[in-house]
Amino acid sequence: MNVKRMRTRHHRSNGSNGASRQLNGQIPMNRNHVFDSHGPDVRVRGTAQQLFEKYLQLGRDATGSGDRVAAEAYFQHAEHYFRILNAMAQAAQQSQQERAERQAARQQRVTSNASEDEEDDQAEAENEAVAEVKDLSSEPQPELSEG
């Protein structure tokens, strides 16, 4: 049996059901997303905000104890999660702006449809008035008798 083929077949069956392909390899930008972080000496689990605060505190503690190398490593991890927080904030702001633009476009369509309906109603009323005038002119007129 071909070993290379076996490895490839087992490698593909990761149970993701194509979810990674749908996201193009990106983690969804959700502020409640929980990360597993493997720091220099610790393993921490939490949201980006929690991990940022935790690594910042660990860096301060290491600085206080005189371990500059560990402090720098913790501060680098804190910076990483700070950048993730900024990326999430930018994504949320962009999403909010897109929603506002869609809402404005929707409102504009509703307004333009309403004005078109008014124009249609006005044109229909004018046509009805003209039709009434035409109907009256086609009817026989009473004769005036003298005397």
Which SS3 state, helix, strand or coil, does residue 4 take? helix
Angle (CA) 109-120-123 rounded to 5° is 150
pLDDT digits (tens, 9 = 90+) for 47-105: 999 999 999 999 999 999 999 999 999 999 999 999 999 999 999 899 899 999 999 99
pLDDT in tens, 11-52: 444 444 444 444 455 655 677 888 888 888 889 899 999 999
Residue 128 belongs to a domain: no
In contact, 91 and 26? CB cutoff 8 Å: no
Domain count, the chain: 1
Is 88 part of a structural domain of the chain? yes
**Average pLDDT of 104-124?**
80
Q: Is the Cβ–Cβ distance between 62 and 74 less than 8 Å?
A: yes
User: Does some domain include residue 43?
Assistant: yes
* Global model pTM greater than 0.75: no
Domain encompassing residue 80: 32-112
What is the spatial distance between Cα 56 and Cα 74, in angstroms, rounded to a whole number? 7
Short-list 89, 74, 84, 66, CA closest to 44: 74
Asked whether residue 145 is domain-assigned, the answer is no
Within-domain flag for 49: yes
